[in-house]
Amino acid sequence: MGQKNGIEKTWWKESVVYQIYPRSYQDSNKDGIGDLQGIIKRLPYLQWLGVDVIWLSPIYKSPNDDNGYDISEYRDIMTEFGTMEDFDLLLTEAHKHDLKIMLDLVVNHSSDEHAWFVESRKSTDNPYRDYYIWREGKEGKEPNNWGGSFGGSAWKYDEATNMYFLHTFSPKQPDLNWDNPVLRDEVFKMMSWWLDKGVDGFRMDVINMISKVPGLPDGNQEGRLYGDFTPYVMNGPHVHEYLQEMNQKVLSKYDVITVGEAPAVTVEEAKQYVGFDSGELNMVFEFEHMCVDEGQYGKWTKLPLDLVKLKEILTKWQTGLDGIGWNSLYWNNHDQPRIVSRWGNDGEYHNKSAKMLGTCLHMMQGTPYIYQGEEIGMTNVDFTSIDQFRDIECLNQYDDFVNKIGMDKEEAFARIKKSSRDNARTPMQWDSSVNGGFSEGAPWIEVNPNYTDINVEAQKEDKNSILHFYKNLIKYRKDHEIVVYGSYELLLADDPNVFAYKRSLGEQTLYVLCNFTDQSVDVEIPGYEEDKNQLVIHNDTEWTKGTLRPYEARVYLV
Ligand code: GLC
Ligand code: CA
């Protein structure tokens, strides 16, 4: 495809990815659980929207301790979602609609119900023993002080062999031992099996956690219930070696898209993961920008947004990887509360702020990811009772807050409500019929009652809707190489209200101005005199030179 701005042109750099959380997308058989046939039914919608790739959160056989992120059979489909025939049909139909399919690869851990683990726990000399990470206890206690990501210790005692196994997530998600070459080959074979079927790539779950520091040293426990494993698990000693091996043995043989989820990754580290010459991955999901509003209780504290800090972080990623590697661009996924409620405004300025956030993200350099419902501005949920939550992470956290830390229940509930992953997991809002058109049965998690106002059908009919705006953002990227390959430069770095930047490609410049507040603010762009004739994207009906109205977003092409 040639080069542009010193960057090799590839289809995945020019793509927009749409993430589906299958459990909550579309139910086809009235059991209240989304499924593969449901997704097939919605393919024409996705083609109409203009996205290129669908990332499916896990669809494999699973006991659903963590909604499919605990896999018990990598070559089979979750019973509730359908059959392998349904999957094959989905793949064929997607391709017919010009949509590629990217699977979620969850190989830092499996389910404890996976046959490998069932064998592994039987005896110390079982052939599968070294597929997992087993250690002796220390003075009758866990092998080290690490806490699991979903609360409690990261170790579980197993009677059969009187030893502990490591689980960095729930006890039903034992960590696989990537230091074992036999395990690595099993994973690589499984990946090739799916790629040979015709899938177009992988999103790799917590892939930067697969190599643990030998000796598994205790983590820092200051002010915490358990020690922090981060320095000994994230970006470990052999992670690049293993990813290069994966690339040589599998990925390099196919023309695929890859993105690795990488909590706690820095730009410097990312250059190795996604460098154009590294032979590892296309992109990573970094977390720095998503953590900018964290406080005392980590993600369970949401501080007001510090826009200057957010700009600094995103700019560091934009300029740090320019010409060296490729960025992913995201505000939302199945683990994050809804962006319009978080950094926009889900009341009076719902429409405008959702469009502003979309503009700000989609005009940057990188591959944008849209999470289901983001394109209609789906919001957080006004949960009123702990019984409405389903997610293991937030339920365990609530328990820790109340029973271990002694926080009062109201405060604990308020924290869960704001940050729970369930905010993102309520059913897709298709229309104003019962359950938002998601299911005629009782949904596994309640539909957000605002589906009567916020839904696809209503927005499809309204040219001024968030949905049409997203469709245009996608189209604009397709029609303008500057959006894909142009270089990025931050403007007005110290402005606490406006996110402004420019993109440059050859003779062309794109100016992007986004007001992140509910107030009117004055702006002056250095080096450019605002000209209404050059306005190419705008989320408002009025235009005043030098002033942005609440949540106004403008893009000028010069
Ligand atoms: C990733 C997934 C998350 C899951 C966890 C364990 O962070 O995005 O949903 O719970 O890994 O697999
Ligand atoms: Ca179903």
How does pLDDT run across 445-454, given as a tens digit for each residue? 999 999 999 9
The half-sphere exposure of 281 on its side-chain side, counting CA atoms within 13 A, is: 28
pTM of the shown model: 0.98
Can you give the pLDDT at residue 11? 98
Predicted pLDDT at 60: 98
Residue type, 43: L
Ligand 1 pocket by Cβ (under 6 Å)? 66, 69, 106, 169, 205-206, 261, 334-335
> What are 216-267's pLDDT values in tens digits?
999 999 989 999 999 999 999 999 999 999 999 999 999 999 999 999 999 9
Best mutation site among 55, 56, 59, 206 for ligand 1, i.e. most ligand atoms within 8 A of its Cβ? Answer: 206
Question: For residues 395 and 389, is the Cβ–Cβ distance under 8 A?
Answer: yes
For strand 134-135 and strand 163-166, is the pairing parallel, antiparallel, or unpaired? Answer: antiparallel
Say how many C-beta atoms besides its own lie within 10 A of residue 519's C-beta: 10
Q: For residue 374, give the DSSP letter.
A: G
Helix (H, G, I), strand (E, B) or coil at 157: strand
- pLDDT given at position 1: 83
268 is catalytic: no
Place of tokens 């896999």: 71
CA-108 nearest atom, ligand 1: 12
- Residue 344 Cα to ligand 1 midpoint, Å, equals 25
Q: How many Å from the N-terminal Cα to the C-terminal Cα in the chain?
A: 26
Segments of the chain scoring below 70 in pLDDT = none
* Residue 245 known to be catalytic: no
Return d(Cα 482, Cα 491) in angstroms, integer: 17
The alpha-helical segments, DSSP class H, found in 198-298 are 230-233, 239-249, 267-274
Pocket test for ligand 1, best of 67, 69, 285 (most atoms within 8 A of CB): 69
Question: Hey, whose CA ends up nearest to atom 12 of ligand 1?
Answer: 69
Tokens of 447: 């539909």
Instruction: Point out the catalytic residue in the list 261, 269, 375, 391.
Output: 261
Rounded to 5 degrees, what angle do the CA atoms 331, 336, 339 make?
A: 45
**307-321 vs 267-274: helix crossing angle, rounded to 10:** 40
Active-site residue (options: 65, 205, 288, 335): 205
Q: Which of 295, 184, 298 is nearest to 245 (CA)?
A: 184
- The residue whose CA has the least distance to atom 6 of ligand 1 is 69
Q: How far is CA 427 from CA 36, 271, 375, 437, 497, in A?
A: 15, 37, 14, 9, 33
**From the CB of residue 364, how many other CB atoms can be counted at a distance below 10 Å?**
19
| Dist CA 93 CA 45 (whole Å) | 13
The confidence score (pLDDT) of residue 281 equals 98
